Amino acid sequence: MLEQLTTHARDAEQKNKRWSYASISDHIADIVLRKNFGWRWWLLLGISSAGTLIFFGAIAYLFSVGVGIWGIDIPVAWGFAIGNFVWWIGIGHAGTFISAVLLLLRQRWRTSINRFAEAMTLFAASIAGLFPILHLGRPWFFYWLLPYPDVMNVWPQWRSPLVWDFFAISTYITVSLLFWYVGLIPDLATLRDRAHGTRAQIIYGLFALGWRGDAIHWARFEQAYLLLAGLATPLVVSVHSIVSLDFAIGNTPGYHSTIFPPYFVAGALFSGFAMVLTLAIPLRHYFHLEQFITPVHLNNAAKVLLATGAIVTYGYASEIFMAFYSDDPYERYVAINRATGPYAPVYWTMLCCNVALPQLLWFKRVRHSIATLFAISLVINIGMWLERMMIVITSLHRDFLPSAWGMFWPTRWDWIIFFGSVALFVFLFLMFIRLLPAISIFEMRQLGHAAESSQ
Amino acid sequence: MNSRYGLLAEFRRPDELMNAARALHAAGYRRVHAYTPYPVEELAQALGYRGNRISVFAFIGGVVGGIGGYFLQWYAAVVDYPINYGGRPLHSWPAFIPVTFELTILGAALFTVIGMLVLNDLPRLHHPLFSVKEFDLASRNRFFLCVENNDPLFDNEGTLTALEQCKPCAVCQVPL
Amino acid sequence: MNISLDRRQFIKLIAATGAIAQTACSRPPPETILPYVHMPERMLPGAPEYYATAFVQHGYAIGVLIESNMGRPIKIEGNPHHPASRGATNTFAQASILQLWDPDRSRSVRRDGIVSTWSEWLSAISSISVEAQKNRGAGLRILTGNITSPTLLAQLQQLKIQFPNLHWHTYEPLHNDNASAGATLAFGKPLDVIYRIERANVIVTLDADFLSHGPAATIYAREFAARRRPDHAAGMNRVYALECSPGLLGTVADHRIPLSPAELERAAWQLAELIEGNTINDAPNWLQQIALDLNRHRGESLIIAGPRLPPSLHALAHSLNERLNNSQHTIQYIAPVVPPQNASLQELVSAMSDGGVDTLFILNNNAVYQAPAALEFSAALKHVRCSIHAGFYVDETARQCQWHVPLAHTYEQWSDARAYDGTATIVQPLIAPLYGGTSPHEILNRLLGNESRSAYDTVRAYWRSLRSENFDAFWQSVLQRGVIADSAFPSQTVVARPVEKSRALNDASLTAIFAADPAVDDGEYSNNGWLQELPRPLSAMTWDNAALMSVATARRYNVNNGDIVELQHNGRRLQTPVWIVPGHADRAITLPLGYGRWAAGNSGNGVGFNAYALRPVDSSWFIDGIQLRKLGTRYSFALTQTQTDSADRKPVLHATLTELRAQPEFVRIDTEKNSGAGSLYPEYSYDNYKWGMTIDLSACIGCNACTIACQAENNIPVVGKNEVARGRHMHWIRVDHYFEGSKEDESAQKNPTVLYQPVPCMHCERAPCEEVCPVGATMHDSEGLNVQVYNRCVGTRFCSNNCPYKVRRFNFLQYADRERESLKAQRNPEVTVRQRGVMEKCTYCLQRITRGRIEAEKRGTPLRDGEIVTACQAVCPTQAIAFGNLNDGDSAVARAQHSSRNYTLLEELNTKPRTTYLAKISNPNASISAQLSKPEPRDA
């Protein structure tokens, strides 16, 4: 597959050829610097900011009344909050994968999508980071998970996966932020130099930290950027593995499984790349970036979907297989209950979204039909969300003692807070494309240079 | 005479800049800086840049984060306040690994970025070059070479001619 | 779901389970009351004292010790010296403390529904008294429930002497009239029966659930359970339960035979024939086997007829016990504890409608609600010129009466009462009346004309008249012990006449059976949040009642759980939801009484349906030929347990006695596949104390007393129907029930084996909950207890997910009311009141352990076994729960855990629980096949 990617990368360079540094810089920078941004953007911004306000309103209500406003109960003590958390953090992973792993693999086609993919990572991870706090019974004490000299002289309980989570997520957010910001510095300098208004100049100038493009700075910059990529790569694998341990460490049938870490990481990339497409396709269309984000990119992303989707499918299969092979009555029951129990519709819908439909991507025609790709990416997003819910809820609702079995029915507040978080994500993303270059300018220049010299 | 930062030559193409940089370096100039809109391979080396001290920063960061992280957990769980949680051993080292790992990464990443900024002497919001009007093209499509005043070999005419020989599209003074 | 509404409802509930601010300024009663003899005499701040008094239900006393903390009664325990308690109590006694603090209790005298003053009331009653003196009580009538109080009875006697024309009526909706009529049939005079359950090897019950109903239920349960333990010296008893309506006894009997009333009557007469040795060709095999078994155990068997059965069958039971030579061995007869009633409710109603009633005193009786609707009591009440109601609540009757006078609660007044065997107890107040309130004694005193005489003086005077010599010593001793020595009625030797065979019950396509409700009894406890939220046996239903019917009956009428049906009889209609109870008799439905109240209080109003609406005028227990129509509308219940099929997971291990003999280690067979799984973890040593618990499933009768005792002891909040329906009930110890009947076998499904399993926290040595808590809010203490640190808990709920037993409870909302002063007064000060967002669970009554440990340390000697008793253990009528120090090899719990029946729940998970179970052993008659053939109904 890698050879393929590189050849496609070369096509991409061919297309980029007729772009000069100047026009590259101007075109991308002007997206940000132009005055008028179009009514569509304003409309979307209006909707998403309304949704964001509702989101924070719901959170205020949640804090004042308690998690009882959700559908959770005993035995299903975890519900949407944890499911959303896993889903969002998964979405984040594609960004890091694109910007770090593909960088190390010298996949230069990544260049035109890594910037907004990283932004996506940052926003998704931050939103994900909210949910574990929201779902606490006493959220105002969330900091008790931190190791700090406490008057009662107590420490976090290091054996709990939730503590691992706390460190994993905060590290992930920090490193993603650094990676993203470091990559932005030269472009901020570009904007500083392109900006017309003094205010813009000052603000971009401040964040550009006085970058001048000194050759030696560039050298150190590249070393640092490469190092960060090298660090982010194991990180991205570890984060979702640790998230999966929140479940796998538990003894609940349906949670307690060794397949979880790889299965979760694959699922993360699966949903992440789906989200990349969901964002990239409208973006390129709306801002006429077809020259930068070419069908080649979408095609490659689709292939990644196909690959990760296969791993996810393998995860489902192996779960079922192990349930029967292990001869553990509880595991076996969970497998049967998922397929035939009260939540069976969720299970089968999920399989359609994550296993059946993505198979269309085997066909070149599908991969090259932008509309279909967009639709499939949406379907996969839904499917992966359903998968998270399926794992969290159906495992809990019927565990060991039948006398303690129960059901989970989401309340309106479950839905409001989920859709609210989506609105917040959209809002952040809109602000990002308005204020910062969605495509890495200096890397595009570099690409242009490479293209020139390579002919 | 010292009211000047240096001489700034402007080039259209990276290879012209590269030649100029090589030539001046060969001529013995040591306080020469090149400015490009994107990283140009070999350019830094051509100006005599060597070494990779950032990796050292990263390594130190990783070690500090890792050892610190494990020690923190061990001290808290075994020494400072040993508690029987579910009959698990106090020093449950396998359970301490994830946090240790994460803190290693965090330490390394932080030190890398800090190292890069420190070595590059950033942030530096004001710099004489910013007063040159054309310099903003350095972040667009122009390539600049600046010979600083405090270079031992620097003398106005000599350096100017040396630059002229590299056929820049323009040369200008950089005031302090 | 409208949250704000939920919230309001739920605040209402909290309010209902609490009391109001007056309580803060309540005083100890003015008279001297004496603490229980074994406790320190002075009041130590924070150290609870125990006072012996009595809980009175339907007139009968159950001796209790009330834990009083700084003058606030907070917890009921059984009085070990009392014959009806012997240390245990029933659910109602436990909940009575909440009734005491109920803010909905009546607080003021009312006249025509408007708040009046005591002085007005006093002048009114004195004028009534004066008038009665003139016309010698003509037109003056009194309506009460059962009365066993010697003092009150004496006062009533005096009334009758003073006012010959006065009439005294009694009405109890859960009456025992058939039994006394039956006794009269058999012996020529009414007698009370005392069963010596522990002496009986074979017990046959005819619709008699002696574990749940009757003044001796608690003690009968204890004696019954003693003989359910295979290691009992006299061996296991064998119980055949012939039931019309499923009760606790049937579920723990060796053979449960569900029969419609008519079928049961026929079976009883056939049994009589068979015992005589006559052969009946159409008698089913099981009946013949029962007869054989009975004849095999003459003198050590027992036939018990239930209160619902017609007098003829009671008489039959007496003569059969006579015939089987059981009387004086397993059964004894005493003079009736409740004197035979003088006049009935029906007579009162007719008198009222004829205008013959001038003044009516209704003492502590809610006839307007509890009288059969057919009797039209409230309509008749309108003809009474002056009606006076005295009770705890401004209830349905109070609202129909001209006067309402608040009565002090049993724990607020001086009185006395007798137990089922006649043993008398002085009822002493624990606290001055929270809301004022008088007592029946004082009312009668005023009626008699001696205004100033207090209840205290009346009771003392009565007993002084009996025990004049050094009375004060006597008084002190009876207050301290809680029983009056040798006041029990002597056993009488009587001979039962043979009875003529007669049929009182007709076969009908559908017979309705009225039943006392396991939670609200006859409706007296409708406003009690603890009881309303207590899962009903066999359905785990809360905050509701339903028409109970068998699988077959439901199929016949094509109804399912929650379908609303309309019942019709003699033109009276009743709409009620249906609940299917496997093991219910076919052709019959059970209608629990006590619901559908409209003036019970915030918690009780409008809960369930009112079965009194269908009850016939004579308050009989059965009505045949009732019409059932499906309405097509649905109703949703709030259950604490939705799954009753154990899904082949064998949470409850059980075997027959013969199987146990053949294979004493049978519990290992199920667990060996996974037992002894190794562990990588170090062994923590608990050198000092090592607490553990064992629950004997052979003894558990599923009565839920442990659940409510735990609720009272540990300040467990009431959450209300909506929250229960969403799976958020808070009980720390739950009693699971499973129906076990093979899927294939139809009749086994209709009449399945019922398995009970109380599930508290297992206090695992390898607690999965502790491992996953990020803040270490749940951890092990030095005695191996799995403790929950409320103020450290942040509420991730991971512990609950990881608890395979799901015994953890979470405060999803602010369930406990932390503002209301009075609630603080009602709560146990030794137990934290939990905040919203924290996890809670069974602590093995940590506060009791700590108190015991401190006492032991002060003493300087280690704790003795049995010195620390958990709330669930203390209340358990069958002593199924053993708790103690596992390091002490002689402790009851250590011995139990060495029993061959000992097993741990979900052993394969290797959580090493401290709580273990003893497998359930049954003792069925081998010659009766599992599928019991039932006689087909034929007209006799």
pLDDT band of C23, cuts 50, 70, 90: very low
DSSP state of C911: -
Predicted pLDDT of residue A328: 87
Q: Which long-range contacts link C886-891 to residues 24+ away (Cβ below 8 Å)? A: C886/C690, C886/C691, C886/C692, C886/C914, C887/C686, C887/C687, C887/C688, C887/C689, C887/C690, C890/C865, C891/C865
pLDDT per residue as tens digits for the range B16-51: 888 888 888 888 888 888 888 888 888 888 888 887
pLDDT per residue as tens digits for the range A99-143: 888 888 877 777 778 888 889 999 999 999 999 999 999 999 999
pLDDT per residue as tens digits for the range C312-358: 999 999 999 999 999 889 999 999 999 886 788 889 999 999 988 99
Asked whether the beta carbons of C880 and C758 are under 8 A apart, the reply is: yes
| A444-453, C667-676, C829-838, C929-938: the lowest-pLDDT one | C929-938
Mapped onto helix, strand or coil, the DSSP state of residue A66 is coil
Q: Does the distance separating the beta carbons of A194 and B140 come in below 8 Å?
A: yes
B161 and chain C: CB distance < 8 Å anywhere? no
Burial label, A98 (beta-carbon count in 10 A; 0-12, 13-18, 19+): buried
- Residue matched to tokens 């019970």: C600
Predicted pLDDT of residue A17: 47
Report CA B146 to chain centroid distance, whole Å. 17
Q: Which residue type, as a one-letter code, is found at position C258? A: P
Mean pLDDT of C845-852: 93
Mutate one of A148, A170, A198, A231 to test the B interface: name it (highest B CB count within 10 A).
A231
Q: Does the distance separating the beta carbons of A194 and B108 come in below 8 Å?
A: no
**Residue C542 pLDDT exceeds 90:** yes
Q: Does the distance separating the beta carbons of C773 and B83 come in below 8 Å?
A: no
A46 and chain C: CB distance < 8 Å anywhere? no
Predicted pLDDT of residue C10: 55
Asked whether the beta carbons of C631 and C566 are under 8 A apart, the reply is: yes
Which is it for strands C424-427 and C511-515: parallel, antiparallel or unpaired? unpaired
- Residue matched to tokens 């979204």: A353
Tokens of B139: 């972040």
**Residue C934 pLDDT exceeds 50:** no
Q: Does the distance separating the beta carbons of B125 and A209 come in below 8 Å?
A: yes
DSSP state of C935: P
Give the gap in angstroms from C-alpha C229 to the nearest C-alpha of chain B: 34
pLDDT band of B1, cuts 50, 70, 90: very low
Q: Which residues of A touch C836 (CB under 8 A)?
A: 66, 68, 137-138
Chains near C (3 or more Cβ pairs under 8 Å): A, B
pLDDT band of A453, cuts 50, 70, 90: low
pLDDT per residue as tens digits for the range B62-82: 999 999 999 999 999 999 999
User: Nearest-CA residue of chain A relative to B106?
Assistant: A171
Predicted pLDDT of residue C671: 58
What ipTM was assigned to the predicted interfaces of this complex?
Answer: 0.90
- Residue matched to tokens 């086609």: A109
pLDDT band of B159, cuts 50, 70, 90: confident
User: Nearest-CA residue of chain C relative to A398?
Assistant: C643
Q: What is the total residue count of chain C?
A: 940
**Residue B130 pLDDT exceeds 90:** no
Predicted pLDDT of residue A438: 82
Predicted pLDDT of residue A210: 87
Predicted pLDDT of residue C885: 93
User: Nearest-CA residue of chain A relative to B74?
Assistant: A158
pLDDT per residue as tens digits for the range C616-666: 988 899 998 899 999 999 999 999 999 998 888 889 999 999 989 998 888
pLDDT band of A11, cuts 50, 70, 90: very low
First and final CA of chain C: distance in angstroms? 56
Mapped onto helix, strand or coil, the DSSP state of residue C222 is helix
Give the gap in angstroms from C-alpha A354 to the nearest C-alpha of chain B: 30
Instruction: Identify which has the larger pLDDT, C569 or A6.
Output: C569
Element spanning A297, H or E: helix A295-325
**Residue C28 pLDDT exceeds 70:** no
Q: Does the distance separating the beta carbons of A209 and B122 come in below 8 Å?
A: yes
C787 and chain B: CB distance < 8 Å anywhere? no
Distance CA(B101)–CA(A241), nearest Å, equals: 12
Mean pLDDT of B126-141: 82
For chain C, the average pLDDT equals 89
Which is it for strands C511-515 and C622-624: parallel, antiparallel or unpaired? antiparallel
Question: Judged by CB atoms within 8 Å, which residues 637-696 of C form the interface with A?
Answer: 641-649, 651
Q: Does the distance separating the beta carbons of B109 and A228 come in below 8 Å?
A: yes
Mean pLDDT of C927-938: 51
C677 and chain B: CB distance < 8 Å anywhere? no
Predicted pLDDT of residue C37: 57
Q: What b/e sequence results for C280-293 when a residue is b if at least 16 CB atoms lie within 10 Å of its CB, and e otherwise?
A: eeebbebbbbbbeb
Distance CA(C468)–CA(C474), nearest Å, equals: 9
pLDDT per residue as tens digits for the range C221-254: 999 999 999 989 999 999 999 999 999 999 999 9
Q: Which residues of C touch B89 (CB under 8 A)?
A: 681-682
| C487-501, C667-681, C751-765, C870-884: the lowest-pLDDT one | C667-681
Tokens of C886: 């596992």
Distance CA(A255)–CA(A334), nearest Å, equals: 10
What's the pTM?
0.90
Alpha helices in C505-655 (DSSP H): 529-532, 551-556
Predicted pLDDT of residue C310: 93
**Residue C5 pLDDT exceeds 80:** no
